[in-house]
Structure 1
């Protein structure tokens, strides 16, 4: 009992308020804040590089839909393919069909960061086809801003009491009351803090060394930092789906490895990426 009193009991109401009967949830709000802050950071870089506003304006929509659609499809196909392949409408619409007929609004229950990354990379490819900007340059600018969005997404997970950590006796353990009364690692908070630190590092490097590093450096650095940390933090997290229990590495770790390889390769390629048009 004394041990439980030394922990942080965590059970916030996921709903912040209601406006005209519409529920405003912390999850959606924190996602929106994270994307908005990234928008400001990328806008700053466009101005710094003297790229016209006409080319910046459509970027938000490409990024938003690329991230959300990619994250949603990533969760459905990576973590619950059996269910969602037989319920394809629920992949794209925030609803759940009820056994007795009818449906209910659920919001998007499940977004995967790996899928969001893939969706964003594809969306940016479509964006540069329209704007004729250099693809690697755009990836670099988005990479500088990505860690701050990742930070707020993990804070959103924390407010939703999801993606919980394994049981622990550390004094800062959280008891996620909606799950059980077991003290656990606040893995979402670990990730949020790490990603915020990565953002500070990346912004410092951009402001002081952006003209000295090669094209693709920030893209590679972002992938390497985030997904290397993601790989190791998974050891402190509960598996998200049952089929991961029999795996040596869980799904998040297996999906992180290709991104780490791409990131390191982008850092090491050096001036070869400078020659890409």
Structure 2
């Protein structure tokens, strides 16, 4: 019998507020999103408060514009994350039940969808404010892993997105995942996509002058996240996919499954390629 670390059964609801006869649960997952955005904003402000870090010793945004950018990113994360889950993972189900698409409270968010939503929000924001896109994305990329760190810890608290079965001494038995020890893959992702990637990007942005060359930090974020996610997918239980009739991606899903790939790896590959493309573009400039 392999050694098992007890799973810390933490209530996903931090506190429930009773207000006018209604119960309002405050969940760790929602606090992770909120905390990631607010901490990210505070760190982004620190970057723009140091003009010497940026090209021409001029920060790309002022404090008020940075706060406005946060609002755009909130909508990008929520709408993109939800629509990404619908389109990437369960299109057949939501085609049959379109009324459930906007039911965010029912669960189902995709990082890659949230990433596309944020990218769209950044492009629109920069066009509206005539701001340098690559400089803005560099600043956002340098602080984004903080949100990933908190989000993966919230996944662990929720007891979701657990790993594959394992005999490793740090395996855990997750509620709802049977009685077999599994990798705590949420913590692997928190460490790699969150803590390690943040430390690397922050060091390069603030100590090595990478913000002086727009696109370098963004490119490394793409490469770092894509590689870390693809690696952790080796230990994470693959996401459940809808194979039934009505799924427009049925053949593509079967093709990737036949070659041992997960949806997370398939979606991470374009990020890695884009990252290397940005590096090549920046070095040519």
Q: What TM-score, normalized to structure 2?
A: 0.85
Corresponding residue number in structure 2 for 1:80: 90
Kindly report the root-mean-square deviation, in angstroms, between the aligned alpha carbons of the 2 structures: 1.8
| Structure 1 residue 124, shift from structure 2 partner | 0.3
Aligned: 1:191 with 2:193? no
Corresponding residue number in structure 1 for 2:46: 44
- Looking at structure 2, the residues matched to 22 and 247 of structure 1 have their Cα atoms a distance apart, in angstroms, of 44
Counterparts in 2 of 1:158 and 1:131: CA distance versus 1, 3 Å = same
| Structure 1 residue 77, shift from structure 2 partner | 0.8
Corresponding residue number in structure 1 for 2:131: 133
Aligned: 1:253 with 2:262? no
Corresponding residue number in structure 2 for 1:209: 208
For structure 2, the residue ranges without an aligned partner over 5 or more in a row are 52-58, 244-252
Pick from 59, 81, 88: which aligns with 1:71? Answer: 81
For structure 1, the residue ranges without an aligned partner over 5 or more in a row are 95-106
- Looking at structure 2, the residues matched to 198 and 162 of structure 1 have their Cα atoms a distance apart, in angstroms, of 22
- Looking at structure 1, the residues matched to 17 and 211 of structure 2 have their Cα atoms a distance apart, in angstroms, of 49
Q: Count residues in correspondence.
A: 259
* SS of aligned partner of 2:7: strand
- Looking at structure 2, the residues matched to 272 and 135 of structure 1 have their Cα atoms a distance apart, in angstroms, of 18
Corresponding residue number in structure 2 for 1:23: 25
Counterparts in 2 of 1:12 and 1:89: CA distance versus 1, 3 Å = same
- Looking at structure 1, the residues matched to 142 and 282 of structure 2 have their Cα atoms a distance apart, in angstroms, of 18
- Looking at structure 2, the residues matched to 251 and 124 of structure 1 have their Cα atoms a distance apart, in angstroms, of 25
| Structure 1 residue 191, shift from structure 2 partner | 0.6
Corresponding residue number in structure 2 for 1:104: none
* SS of aligned partner of 1:172: coil
Aligned: 1:177 with 2:179? no
Corresponding residue number in structure 2 for 1:153: 151
- Looking at structure 1, the residues matched to 8 and 172 of structure 2 have their Cα atoms a distance apart, in angstroms, of 6
Once the two structures are superposed, residues 153-194 of structure 1 have per-residue CA deviations (whole angstroms, 9 ceiling, x without a partner) of 111111111111000011111110232111000000001011
